[in-house]
Amino acid sequence: MKKTVAYTGNEAVAHGMKQLNPDVVAAYPITPQTEIVQIFSTFVADGLVDTEFITVESEHSAMSATIGAAAAGARAMTATSSAGLAFMHEVVYVAASMRLPIVMPVVNRALSAPINIHCDHSDTMGERDSGWIQLYAENAQEAYDNLLQAVRIAEHPDVLLPVMVCMDGFIISHALENVELNDDAFVKDFVGQYKPDHYLLDAENPLTMGPLDLFDFYFEHKRAQAEAMRNAKNVILQVGKEYGEKTGRSYGFYEKYQLDDAEVAIVVMGSTAGTVKAVVDDLRRQGQKVGLLKLRTFRPFPNEELAKELQHLKAVAVMDRADSFNGFGAPIFVQTRAALYDLAQRPKIVNYIYGLGGRDCDLSQIGQVYSDLQQLAQGDGTGEIVRYLGVRE
């Protein structure tokens, strides 16, 4: 039986982990993720799960222990944020390259320097080419739902890649919201029992993992890894559809909001999508044809699907809560602009970098973006392509 509770995002994810009852969780605290492993540790102490809970001395060790457990055949998890994810950098790549279906909640937080503990997406964007699938949530409900689906996606035989379940630090992780929880029995049935085909502790079928791999085979292994990421697209859709049929909450690569008949639209990811929806509703009441595409899946990137959804628009603003420091746009913008390249007719597209270090992005700022888009749709040029929203220049 489903029940609705008031949970923070961290509580919702920790509860989801309890329902998943992984074999191994390796844990190290870091703000604003700490509550996830702290709450989960109480479930272990109270005997509510039979998870082997490993306390380690660093995030590098947390991921290393998780890799070891997953390689041995366990359903293994960890969680982190910001500098913790950066400290894992080396072994984050190892996890994906070894094709280990690890699921890791990441509570998005800015990277230093200067030191900052609040939300932006610079941490996970720094790992966007590591080979991990990345799912982003708008709220605590989606963080919980994404976590459960991530296990199915990661463990699918056509995928076998690790998954980051991302949610905005403090905005989601520490904010109290209504969350509809699934029944424990449903979660157990939905994810099923993990039975890997290949693992280190299979004495009857010995194998080697992560050996020296030079020019004779390395390229082929990387190509296979890339194909797994392509395969993940179909699996994400299949799992999201099945989850929706059973819970009433369906998921795909993105959510469209008032987009089909829109003339201008915003593309954004994470909690800011909720703010954009409020502005869309207000502008729609004023007769303006504005819309939103909320991106959920950043890896694999749904390039063909996005191009199809955006091609009818006159102008698009891509909002990034991170900067690539490449001199020409942030991660979501660069990918979205590339996705539109082959269209015979494509909308004008601009980039708004916003909210770095947790700076608020309010209704008036979103309204200004739509106002800019309306002018852009009526004009000949695009003006400044990369813009900074809410910064003191």
Q: How confident is the model at residue 60 (pLDDT cuts 50, 70, 90)?
A: very high
The 3-state DSSP class for residue 274 equals helix
8 Å CB contact between 149 and 249: no
Quick one: pLDDT at residue 360?
97
User: What is the distance between the alpha carbons of residues 120 and 107, in angstroms, rounded to a whole number?
Assistant: 10
Q: What share of the chain has pLDDT > 90, as a percent?
A: 98
Q: Which of 45, 132, 42 shows the shortest CA–CA distance to 80?
A: 132
Q: How confident is the model at residue 380 (pLDDT cuts 50, 70, 90)?
A: confident
Level-2 CATH architecture, domain 3-181+209-247: 3-Layer(aba) Sandwich (3.40)
User: What is the distance between the alpha carbons of residues 350 and 358, in angstroms, rounded to a whole number?
Assistant: 22
The residue type found at 356 is: L
Asked whether residue 2 carries a pLDDT value surpassing 90, the answer given is: no
Domain locations along the chain:
3-181+209-247, 254-389
Asked whether residue 170 carries a pLDDT value surpassing 80, the answer given is: yes
- Calculate the CA dihedral of residues 168, 169, 170, 173 and round it to 10 degrees: 70
Order of strands across the sheet that contains 290-295? 254-257, 290-295, 264-269, 315-320, 348-354, 386-389
Contact residues for 94 (Cβ-Cβ < 8 A; gap 6+): 67, 210
8 Å CB contact between 253 and 305: yes
**Identical fold between 3-181+209-247 and 254-389:** yes
Residue 307 CB neighbour total at 10 angstroms: 17
Residue 317's beta-bridge partner residues? 266, 350
Claim: this prediction has a pTM higher than 0.85? yes
- 132-149 pLDDT per residue, tens: 999 999 999 999 999 999
8 Å CB contact between 361 and 275: yes
Quick one: pLDDT at residue 382?
83
Q: Which of 187, 165, 206, 190 shows the shortest CA–CA distance to 71?
A: 206
Kindly report the average pLDDT of the chain as a whole number: 97
Kindly report the CATH class assigned to 254-389: alpha beta
Asked whether residue 364 carries a pLDDT value surpassing 90, the answer given is: yes
Chain centroid to CA 271: 12
